[in-house]
Amino acid sequence: MSLSIIILYLSMLAWIFPIFRQYRCNLFYFFLFLGISDPLSGLFMKLTHYSPVIISVIIAPLLFYSINIDRKKKFSITPVEIFVFVLTAVLYFTITNLDIIMLVIHTLILIRIIFKIILELHHKQIVNIFHIVLAFYMTTSVASLIIYLNGDHQAIILFYINLAFQILLAIFFATFREDHPKLTYNVTPAFKD
């Protein structure tokens, strides 16, 4: 078995554990969809011999939606989320390379996470390290897709190195919850107006 296959299977396994750790947190559904995406994609490929990216493209807008769920409020869908679902459907039927759709949706997820960090900083004057690590994960995911789309031999090697690094991030998310008090820091201005 090659090293790349071992890294791929370890990654699939590693992203299952955050699902259990994030249970009852706002990001539970995000980690649920993230954790089942790769195993479902692999199973889909084994059973149908089609590209496994099809499943990832179906799950990508669900990831975008679930990043903003507040479990204390009623489920609702915003016009931006509807737009992302429609955008995914339109791109699916117009673009032959499905990895480009993944890149677009993962970039939108990254923007949404950064927006969430900025809102918490502005309104609550807190910085949640968990959200910063999540933004870092999405940055590596976007970078990994860009590297993969490059397509040369070195790009594939960098893709698997990045995938191995993301296993460490999965361990972080399997260890800490979003609401862990030691990961939340109050940020107060140095002077008051």
pLDDT band at 70 (very low <50, low <70, confident <90, very high): confident
Asked whether 67 and 30 are in contact (CB, 8 A), the reply is yes
In whole angstroms, what is the distance from residue 43 CA to residue 46 CA?
Answer: 5
Tokens of 64: 């975008």
Q: Is 125 helix (H, G, I), strand (E, B) or coil?
A: coil
Nearest alpha-carbon partner for 17 in 190, 183, 179, 175: 175
CA dist list (Å): 161 to 38, 39, 158, 167, 172: 17, 20, 5, 10, 18
38-52 pLDDT, tens digit each:
899 989 988 998 888
Global pTM reads 0.89
The residue assigned the tokens 């107006």 is 193
Nearest alpha-carbon partner for 170 in 4, 37, 2: 37
DSSP 172-185: HHHH--TT-GGGEE
pLDDT, mean over the chain? 89
- Phi/psi at 187 (5° precision): -120, 115
Report the run of H or E that residue 62 belongs to, with start and end: helix 53-66
Mean pLDDT, residues 137-144 taken together: 90
Nearest alpha-carbon partner for 13 in 172, 161, 133, 170: 170
Q: What pLDDT score was predicted for residue 193?
A: 55
92-108 pLDDT, tens digit each:
999 988 989 999 999 99
In whole angstroms, what is the distance from residue 64 CA to residue 107 CA?
Answer: 10
2-11 pLDDT, tens digit each:
888 888 889 9
For residue 129, with 0-12 CB atoms within 10 Å meaning exposed, 13-18 middle and 19 or more buried, which class applies? middle
